[in-house]
Chains A and B, each alone.
Chain A
Amino acid sequence: MKIDHSLPLEYSTEENRLKILGFWIFLGAEIMLFATLFASYFVLADRTGSGPAGSEIFELTPVLIETILLLTSSFTIGLGIHAMRIGNKKAMMTFFAVTLLLGLAFLGFEIFEFFHYVHVGAGLQTSAFTAMLLTTLGTHGAHVTFGFFWGLAILLQVKKRGLTPETTNKSFIFSLYWHFLDVVWIFIFSFVYLKGMM
């Protein structure tokens, strides 16, 4: 394995560079996935049948808390990657751990939010709107859940194996994923919640 020391560790081998490009392409596919969900959401947003409309069920407080949690986690993982670049393993692991905890808190609030929707009569089967809402949020939430376990696995590997070309590569790719989920959430916050509450 040829290691190019003029590049950051996560880019230092040919295999690593391939993986990073491949992951960007995967994120392109993810954009299409969420774009389809958003397009379907816009089509079905007003088709509430006999169920409630968005303005009747959305509550700003939990959504705002979720937003702050997730945006902060995107910031902390950025700090984690910076720590990784300067070779500070301990700081990197701390920031990653904080990121994952923030993600977990986000999920907690989202689960609470889902209970709230079901409680006020906006379950999966109520109307096309509720099904689409819960599917869009749920797909994002499932990504965060998956990311939590993925990040945990990477954290364990960094702890055990240190900052090697492989572990830094994995951490960097994971940070791309995590930032992407943040971007998606910004769209959800603006076009699902804010638009729905207006």
Chain B
Amino acid sequence: MEFFERFAVPHPSPAIYASMVAIGLTVIAILAGLTYFKKWGYLWREWLTTVDHKRIGIMYLISALLMLFRGGADAIMMRAQLAVPENQLLDAQHYNEIFTTHGVVMIIFMAMPFIMGLMNFVVPLQIGARDVAFPRLNALSFWLFFMGAMLFNISFVVGGSPDAGWTSYFPLAGTEFSESVGSNYFMIAIQIAGLGTLMTGINFITTILKMRAPGMTLMKMPMFTWSALITNAIIVFAFPVLTVLLAMGTMDRLFATNFFTTDNGGMDMLWANLFWVWGHPEVYILVLPAFGVYSEVISTFARRNLYGYKSMVASMVIISLLSFLVWAHHFFTMGQGALANSIFSITTMAIAVPTGVKIFNWLLTLWKGKIVITTPMLYSILFIPLFTIGGVTGVMLGMSAADYQYHNTMFLVAHFHMVIIPGVVFAMLAGLTYWWPKMFGFMLNEKIGKSAAWTIAISTLVAFMPMFFSGLDGQARRMYTYSESTGFGIWNMISFIGAAGLAIGFALIVYNVYYSVRYSPRNISADPWDARTLEWATHSPVPEYNFANVPQIDSIETFWDSKKKGHIMFKGDYEKIHMPNNSGMPFIMSCIFFAWGFSFVFAMWIPLIITTIGILVCMALRSFEKDHGHYISVEEIEETETKLRGAK
């Protein structure tokens, strides 16, 4: 019995017991469903072992949506708790756990996979490649992310959630103040997911640099691919910092080292510095692909080429460099002195310049364009004013002297939500709607989509604008309640209404998926938006090999030219196509990683050693394996092509 006591949740509540039951029932339902409909083989062959970038992309998107609802449930609980003064809905401990998991889940397990999903699906198609450079590594990336996310998510029913904030500052996150295994989950689950992300970074840089279709020079790449290239470069340089940081944090918690403690020479500010050396570039890892999506969508639906292509690329490069030089603005008040603060203040405000260039480029693309308001376009147009509110308040926060007023208040919370929701979430929803027909061969309903977009945009304003005021008035973030005399009640009530509105907006998106699966027409063309980039030149849904012939590129918008000027993109006869083989190894290895992480969280050393050996054995097996892939024959290609053309 003693053995099992460590897995108990330290602060149980009826809600947690209810979740345990719900999770148990869902798992049983899924297992029973798979068995009843005899789908185990299908699941294994087509999804768990796949190395196809398109399927991996879709799995990323499904995971991201699931995590969006997990993080959203946390958000609703927080806003409900704060809606009225001195509320007793949650106690302080639960509130701490919920704001911590909300942050981690939304940033690392929702926004990241959403971006990875779109990148996986779109980038190889946009550059005319058959797949990514290392398809099996790509599958491993996904499964490591997925297992990291699952490990993090079981924390609230097994052993307790982390409660030291998503930044997990020491000494608060040390063993002295965070006794439960929660912060172990933080260190280890993010480590596993982070390894996957780093591999994706390497994979996509190689893919984009080496696998572009003939004729596509770097300056002829679509803007989303450019944003993916720069994002992945940031990933490769930022994520190793996180790897080291989490390893040091793990050692402090489990091996009683003194990196971040307050005695024996430990330095708590080292954690804060290293965290943000990773954390600030991470912000741009999230937002640059979003900018890429907006560039594609705005240019498509303004029916003209993107204004200022070169300045768009240059501004992204400059942003990526500056992103590594601003980290200390996250703790201006923590005593590094006026000189350091001034330098970081200036670098921070400098980022507004390239970002401003991008905003003006989008506006100038719209100018004299023949604008078509579709759902993705609506998100993009709503993004510009809303993001500007977030951006301008960011410049306010960047002024180190003034920051003493804003630091750790709801003003900051309002700022970063106004940046991340319009900046990243709108872009991901726009991208999802935009590329949906390419993924599944039918479109999402426009009417429901647009009402969802409006609901989400208005609710974002309702939820987060009041926080600017209560924050300036002194409401601290991460406080589980406040007294009535503060007068914060009314602002928080408005915020709660906004949060409920956001929930309705996201429910509308789910309804839209359901509705469109049932009623949307299936006889759409391969290019339903009349778009400009290469992914629309192949069939919907895309065949396994992407393009039967490799496209020949001679301008930024070769596909558009082929439609309007009769340029011929696909020349010559079919040739047999080399494709990678499926493999169960990434999935199995990631399952072992899950067990490894779980053993590590609970400091169970013998299982940890066994699973470590298991991981190494997987790598050795892979090294000795002979895998030369397979060929798709010309006859097969002809058959597939005829079938897909007939379906149009």
Asked if A47 and B266 sit within 8 Å, CB to CB, the answer is yes
Using Cβ atoms and an 8 Å threshold, which residues of chain A touch B245? 36
Task: Please state if B274 and A30 are interface contacts (CB–CB under 8 Å).
Answer: no
Give the number of chain A interface residues (Cβ < 8 Å): 39
Give the contact-size bracket for chain B: 35 or more
Asked whether, in the complex, the Cβ of B202 is within 8 Å of the Cβ of A40, the reply is: no
Contact call B202/A29, Cβ cutoff below 8 A: yes
Q: Cβ of B203: which chain A residues have Cβ within 8 Å of it?
A: 22
* Alpha-carbon distance A127/B264, docked complex (angstroms): 5
B270→A18 contact, CB < 8 A: no
CA distance A18 to B135 in the complex (A): 12
Contact of B134 with A by CB under 8 A: yes
CA distance A159 to B169 in the complex (A): 51
Q: Contact: A44 with B237, CB < 8 Å?
A: no
A44→B267 contact, CB < 8 A: yes
User: Does the CB pair A131–B236 fall under 8 Å?
Assistant: no
* A149 CA to B578 CA, complexed, in Å: 32
- Which of B267, B270, B628 is A1 in contact with, Cβ under 8 Å? B628
Which residues of chain A are near B240, meaning CB under 8 Å?
29-30, 32-33, 36
Question: What's the count of A-B pairs with C-beta under 8 Å?
Answer: 114
A153: CB under 8 A from chain B?
Answer: yes
Is residue A195 contacting chain B, with contact meaning CB distance below 8 A? no
The residue that A51 contacts in the complex, of B259, B261, B264, B270, with Cβ under 8 A, is B264
Q: In the bound complex, how far is the Cα of B269 from the Cα of A47, in angstroms? A: 13
Q: Is the CB of A18 within 8 A of B267?
A: no
Q: Mark B133-144, 1 if CB is under 8 A from A, else 0.
A: 110000000000
Q: Return the CB mask of A164-197 against B: 1 if under 8 Å, else 0.
A: 0000001000000000000000000000000000
A17 to B563, CA, bound (A): 35
Tell me what chain A mostly uses at the interface: helix, strand, loop, or mixed: helix
Give the distance in Å from the alpha carbon of A48 to the alpha carbon of B266 in the complex.
9
B353 on interface, CB distance cutoff 8 Å: no
| Nearest B residue to A134, CB-CB | B257
Q: Are A25 and B244 in contact (CB under 8 A)?
A: no
Asked whether A127 and B265 contact (CB < 8 A) given A32-B240, A40-B244, A132-B259, the answer is: yes
> With A1-B578, A47-B265 known to touch, is A25 a contact of B255 (CB < 8 Å)?
no
The CA of A37 and the CA of B274, in the complex, are separated in Å by 10
A47-B257 in contact given A22-B202, A26-B202 (Cβ < 8 Å): no
- Residue numbers of A with Cβ under 8 A of B are 1, 17-19, 21-22, 25-26, 28-30, 32-33, 36-37, 40, 43-44, 47-51, 124-129, 131-132, 135, 149-150, 153-154, 156-157, 170
Given contacts A21-B210, A32-B236, A51-B264, 9 further A-B contacts (CB under 8 A): A25-B202, A25-B206, A29-B201, A44-B265, A49-B266, A51-B265, A125-B264, A128-B261, A135-B247
